[in-house]
């Protein structure tokens, strides 16, 4: 079983073939991407792939027109596969499962597009979607795309101030929400947050469509569909669907925006990443076959949230563009009801590909170190596990590979890129998997490691990971409302390159190793060290479930590395002994230069709702700097409990 997880036996021929394919995507992008575009249905097919007339702002398929919703739904129905399951909704919170065929989902989307059209939403308008993991979230996104409008999905449960900032920036024509979302042991009311956000954004007259869910205190006002509550036009989803008329797909330019997805900005103002229709459809369609090996009728479970980029790309659009069946899971990897949740889903829905975050895998490992709860289920349908969202440490990768008995494939990408920058092309036969690496760059991505002087560094040397322009289709085209901010944020550090903000290196075979954010590089007595490299070592310890390493101020050496570790469930170990063992491991693997001497056991690490550890906030706390608790934090009490362990270090 463990051997399957490393899966190093594909040989050199597949690797050589893939390298040739990747080279072709860089040497002749027009030919490569026009070929890939043939997998998409167009109103007006493209004759040119890349438009560089406004470089460094590039556009893809400038002469073409299409509709993304049609490509995700109608064309599969037209091809005679209307009875195939398109969407499976599985709610561990409610204990229910429901399947929508392509024909049923197409009809629901067409009618809800009619609801939005009745509220005045048209081509180019924005629709803000603030929904939990329920089918209506997928329907609302696809219905917006059907109208040629632009959706902006906000993770359900975001605080009113964060929701308001997105409303102010996107200026939507309507909001789509629900009574609330379900979390283990609690219900999250959405409507009070929506009301407050509309007031903060001075948009209290906004039409708001509400999907009613049982058990929530706040519902749609009794006088639904009338202007009530300070002018807000509250619309009950079910009532509106009953009287709405289905709408046909609207033709849009390939370069027209499909969606805005906000990511945190350094100034506190969210950055609205803009994804277009044409490049997005082509890139995701290629990735489904080339990277994930998913085609018509296959089942893909992406255990993320539609509010994040992984959810956009591989819960909603990617699987449906490919004609596959996508599983929408409302639940957690552990606690709903136990650490075997993914095993149940794989068996029940005959999942071929599972895609989740390293955080979820570490949570399962911590709760069930032997993986016995997952092993209870029939996992024979599963072919590959993909992981993305943050670095996948080699210990967790080997462990879950042994539990599932399938290759574990790391991806590296960002909200901005929309699909993997680096991945292992499993759909093309796959290439050798190297522990700790997301493998080779995907087609169109020209990955270069740059030193501080902006010049490429030799293989094996760590530096800033940059992407040579132009970026391939499916990546961001700009930031909403500000080309200048796009240039300043991503294109200004190194001329001719997109700056990823991550550090890493290329090995002699061209494999990419991502070590962490560039601000996670510390300077110990003049030596630049990646905290990610130290974390990789610590994670190998049998008692450690997950860890974070910070660079703290040191009056002599400038900075020193300090580790914070969470133990696996049921593990008991003397903290002093553990610290000594971890110090020895780091010293042996990285060397005395790391000067690693401190490892503190904590109950939990503070994380965002998408599973990323709040390393920056922890660093600021430890340095005694002013900091703001991010609105995306999953559980503020974890940060509060950690605060005494992050007191500023004496500089004397």
Give buried/exposed letters for 155-182 (b at 16+ CB in 10 A, else e). Answer: bbbbebebbbbbbebbebbbbbbbbbbb
Predicted pLDDT of residue 495: 93
Predicted pLDDT of residue 9: 40
Q: Is there a contact between 48 and 58 (Cβ–Cβ < 8 Å)?
A: no
Predicted pLDDT of residue 628: 77
In terms of average pLDDT, the best of 6-10, 476-480, 564-568 is 476-480
Higher pLDDT, 504 or 521: 504
Domain ranges for the chain: 525-646
Higher pLDDT, 186 or 77: 77
Q: Is there a contact between 604 and 569 (Cβ–Cβ < 8 Å)?
A: no
Grade residue 593 by pLDDT with cuts at 50, 70 and 90.
low
Predicted pLDDT of residue 265: 52
Nearest-angstrom CA–CA distance, 522 and 527: 8
Higher pLDDT, 595 or 257: 257
Tell me which of 3.40.50.300, 3.90.700.10, 3.30.300.30, 3.40.50.10490 is the CATH number of domain 525-646.
3.30.300.30
Condensed to tens digits (0 to 9), the pLDDT of residues 372-429 reads 999 999 999 999 999 998 778 888 899 999 999 999 999 999 999 999 999 999 999 9
In terms of average pLDDT, the best of 228-232, 268-272, 577-581 is 577-581
What pTM, to 2 d.p., does this model score?
0.83
Q: Which long-range contacts (CB under 8 A, 24 or more apart) does 530-535 make?
A: 530/462, 530/503, 531/561, 531/615, 532/391, 532/503, 533/590, 534/561, 534/563, 534/586, 534/590, 534/594, 534/596, 535/391, 535/393, 535/563
Average pLDDT over residues 321-349: 97
Considering only 3-12, 60-69, 515-524, 622-631, which range has the smallest mean pLDDT?
Answer: 3-12
Predicted pLDDT of residue 340: 97
Nearest-angstrom CA–CA distance, 124 and 134: 25
Predicted pLDDT of residue 528: 56
Grade residue 158 by pLDDT with cuts at 50, 70 and 90.
confident
In terms of average pLDDT, the best of 136-150, 523-537, 545-559 is 136-150
Predicted pLDDT of residue 393: 82
Considering only 69-73, 216-220, 385-389, 523-527, which range has the smallest mean pLDDT?
Answer: 523-527
Average pLDDT over residues 18-31: 96
Percentage of residues in the chain having pLDDT higher than 90: 66
Grade residue 1 by pLDDT with cuts at 50, 70 and 90.
very low
Nearest-angstrom CA–CA distance, 479 and 416: 9
- DSSP string of 38-106, one letter each residue: GGS--SB--S-SEE-TTTTS-EE-TT-EE-HHIIIIIHHIIIIITTSEEEEEEETTTTEEEEEEHHHHH
- DSSP E strands in 237-287: the ranges are 252-253, 257-263, 271-276
Average pLDDT over residues 219-241: 71
- Show the DSSP H helices in 257-393 as ranges: 278-290, 309-311, 318-321, 341-349, 358-367, 372-375
Predicted pLDDT of residue 93: 95
Higher pLDDT, 648 or 284: 284
Which DSSP helix (H) or strand (E) runs through 26? helix 11-27
Grade residue 633 by pLDDT with cuts at 50, 70 and 90.
confident
Predicted pLDDT of residue 649: 45
């Amino acid at each position: 079983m463990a051997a399957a997880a490393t899966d190093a036996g594909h040989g050199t021929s597949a690797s050589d073939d893939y390298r040739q394919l990747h080279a072709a995507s860089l040497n002749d992008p027009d030919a490569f991407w026009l070929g890939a575009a043939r997998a998409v249905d167009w109103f007006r097919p493209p004759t040119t792939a890349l438009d560089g007339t406004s470089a460094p702002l590039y556009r893809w398929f400038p002469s073409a027109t299409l509709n993304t919703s049609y490509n995700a739904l109608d064309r599969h129905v037209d091809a005679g596969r209307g009875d195939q399951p398109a969407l499976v909704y599985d709610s561990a919170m409610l204990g229910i499962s429901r399947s929508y065929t392509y024909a049923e989902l197409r009809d629901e989307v067409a009618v809800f597009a009619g609801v939005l059209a009745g509220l005045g939403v048209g081509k180019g308008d924005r629709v803000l979607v603030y929904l939990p993991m329920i089918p209506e979230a997928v329907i609302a996104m696809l219905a917006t795309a059907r109208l040629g409008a632009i959706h902006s999905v906000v993770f359900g449960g975001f605080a009113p101030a964060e929701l308001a900032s997105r409303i102010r920036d996107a200026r939507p024509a309507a909001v789509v929400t629900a009574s609330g979302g379900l979390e283990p042991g609690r219900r999250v009311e959405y409507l009070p947050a929506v009301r407050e956000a509309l007031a903060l954004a001075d948009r209290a007259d906004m039409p708001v469509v509400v999907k009613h869910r049982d058990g929530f205190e706040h519902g749609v006002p009794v006088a639904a569909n009338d202007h009530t509550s300070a002018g807000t036009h509250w619309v009950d989803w079910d009532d509106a669907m009953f009287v709405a008329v289905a709408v046909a797909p609207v033709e849009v330019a390939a370069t027209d925006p499909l969606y805005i997805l906000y990511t945190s900005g350094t100034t506190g103002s969210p950055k609205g990443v803009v994804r277009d229709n044409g490049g997005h459809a082509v890139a995701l369609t290629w990735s489904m076959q080339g990277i994930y090996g998913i085609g018509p009728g296959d089942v893909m479970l992406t255990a993320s949230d539609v509010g994040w980029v992984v959810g956009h790309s591989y819960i909603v659009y990617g699987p449906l563009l490919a004609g596959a069946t996508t599983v929408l899971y409302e639940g957690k990897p552990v606690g709903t009801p136990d650490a075997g949740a993914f095993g149940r889903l794989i068996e029940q829905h005959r999942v071929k590909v599972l895609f989740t975050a390293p955080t979820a895998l570490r949570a399962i490992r911590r709760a069930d170190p032997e993986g016995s709860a997952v092993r209870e289920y029939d996992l024979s349908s599963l072919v590959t596990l993909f992981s993305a969202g943050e670095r996948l440490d080699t210990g967790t990768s080997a462990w879950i590979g042994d539990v599932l008995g399938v290759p574990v494939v790391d991806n590296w990408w960002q909200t901005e890129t929309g699909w993997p920058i680096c991945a292992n092309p499993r759909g093309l036969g796959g290439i050798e998997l190297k522990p700790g690496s997301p493998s080779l760059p995907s087609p169109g991505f020209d990955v270069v490691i740059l030193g501080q002087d902006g010049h490429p560094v030799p293989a094996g040397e760590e530096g800033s990971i940059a992407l040579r322009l132009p970026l391939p289709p499916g990546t961001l085209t700009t930031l909403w409302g500000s080309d200048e901010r796009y240039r300043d944020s991503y294109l200004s550090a190194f001329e001719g390159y997109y700056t990823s903000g991550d550090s890493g290196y290329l090995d002699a075979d061209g494999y990419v190793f991502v070590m962490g954010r560039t601000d996670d590089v510390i300077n110990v007595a003049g030596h630049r060290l990646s905290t990610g490299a130290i974390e990789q070592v610590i994670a190998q310890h049998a008692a450690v479930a997950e860890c974070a390493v910070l660079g703290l101020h040191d009056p002599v050496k400038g900075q020193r590395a300090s580790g914070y570790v969470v133990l696996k469930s049921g593990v008991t170990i003397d903290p002093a002994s553990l610290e000594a063992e971890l110090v020895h491991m780091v010293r042996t693997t990285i060397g005395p230069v790391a000067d690693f001497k401190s490892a503190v056991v904590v109950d939990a690490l503070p994380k965002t709702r998408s599973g990323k550890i709040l390393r920056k906030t922890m660093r600021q706390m430890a340095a005694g700097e002013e900091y703001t608790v991010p609105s995306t934090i999953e559980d503020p009490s974890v940060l509060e409990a950690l605060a005494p362990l992050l007191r500023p270090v004496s500089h004397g």
